[in-house]
Structure 1
Amino acid sequence: MPTPTLRDVAEAAGVHAATASRALNPSTRGLVNAETARRVIKVAEQLGYHPNPIARGLKTAKSGSVGLVIPDLTNPLFPPIVRGIEDVLEPAGYSGLIVNTDNDPAREEAQIERLRARQVEGLIVATARVHHALLHRLHDEGVVMVMVNRRPDGADVPSITPDDAAGVELAVRHLADLGHTRIAHVAGPPNTSTGVGRARAFRSAVRDLGLDTDPRLETTAEHWSEEAGAAGLRRLLDDGVDFTAVVAGNDLIALGCYDVFRERGLRCPEDVSVVGFNDMPFLDKLRPPLTTISIPHQQIGAEAARLLLDAIADPSRPARSVLLPVSLVVRGSTAPPP
Structure 2
Amino acid sequence: MSTMKITLRDLAKKLGVHPSTVSRVINPKTRHLVGEKVAAQVLAAARDLGYRPNSIAASLRTKRSNLIGVLLPDITNPMFPLILLGIEEALSPAGYTALVVNAGSDYVKQQHIVEQMQGRQIDGLIVASVERDDPLISYCLAQELPVVTVNRSEERGRVSCVVNDDVLSIRLAVDHLVALGHTQIGHVLGPLNVSTSYHRHLGFQTALIAQGLPFDEHMEVESTAYTREAGARACETLLTQFEDVTAVIAGNDLIAIGCLDVFRRRGIACPADISLVGHNDTPLTDVIDPPLTTVRIKQRELGVQSARILLSTIDEPASEPLEVRLKPELVVRASTAPPRRTAHARTAQSRKKKA
Give me the TM-score of the superposition, normalised by structure 1.
0.97
Letter of the 1:321 partner, please give it: E
User: Contact 1:183 / 1:212 at 8 angstroms: preserved in 2?
Assistant: no
SS at match of 1:277: strand
Q: Give the 3 Å change call, closer, same or farther, for CA 89–39 of structure 1 in structure 2.
A: same
Match of 1:76?
Answer: 78
Q: CA deviation at 1:240?
A: 5.2
For residues 106-152 of structure 1, what are the alpha-carbon distances to aligned partners after superposition, in whole Å with 9 as ceiling and x for unaligned?
21111111111111000001113122122023123311011101232
How far apart are the structure 1 equivalents of 2:124 and 2:249?
A: 36
Q: Alignment partner for residue 203 of structure 1, among 202, 205, 210?
A: 205
How far apart are the structure 2 equivalents of 1:154 and 1:190?
A: 16
Match of 1:23?
Answer: 25
Match of 2:101?
Answer: 99
User: Contact 1:180 / 1:337 at 8 angstroms: preserved in 2?
Assistant: yes
Q: CA deviation at 1:32?
A: 2.4
Letter of the 2:12 partner, please give it: A
Letter of the 2:197 partner, please give it: G
For residues 65-113 of structure 1, what are the alpha-carbon distances to aligned partners after superposition, in whole Å with 9 as ceiling and x for unaligned?
1000111000001010001100111111000000111222221111111
Matches within 5 A, 1:266-305: 266-305=268-307
Matches within 5 A, 1:1-338: 2=2, 3=4, 4-239=6-241, 241-338=243-340
How far apart are the structure 2 equivalents of 1:90 and 1:214?
A: 48
SS at match of 2:279: coil
User: Contact 2:294 / 2:330 at 8 angstroms: preserved in 1?
Assistant: yes
How far apart are the structure 2 equivalents of 1:236 and 1:39?
A: 65
SS at match of 2:280: coil
Match of 2:347?
Answer: none
SS at match of 1:284: coil
Q: Give the 3 Å change call, closer, same or farther, for CA 206–128 of structure 1 in structure 2.
A: farther
What percent identity do the matched residue pairs reach?
Answer: 45
How far apart are the structure 2 equivalents of 1:140 and 1:204?
A: 37
Structure 2 stretches lacking a partner, 5+ long: 341-355
SS at match of 2:186: strand
Q: CA deviation at 1:31?
A: 2.6
Length, aligned pairs only: 338
Q: Give the 3 Å change call, closer, same or farther, for CA 240–306 of structure 1 in structure 2.
A: closer
Letter of the 1:320 partner, please give it: L
User: Contact 2:155 / 2:195 at 8 angstroms: preserved in 1?
Assistant: no
User: Contact 1:276 / 1:293 at 8 angstroms: preserved in 2?
Assistant: yes
Letter of the 1:67 partner, please give it: G
How far apart are the structure 1 equivalents of 2:157 and 2:301?
A: 24
Moved more, 153-162 or 71-80: 153-162
SS at match of 2:230: helix
Moved more, 161-170 or 1-10: 1-10
User: Contact 1:82 / 1:298 at 8 angstroms: preserved in 2?
Assistant: yes
SS at match of 2:69: strand
Letter of the 1:112 partner, please give it: V
How far apart are the structure 1 equivalents of 2:80 and 2:29?
A: 26
Letter of the 2:166 partner, please give it: D
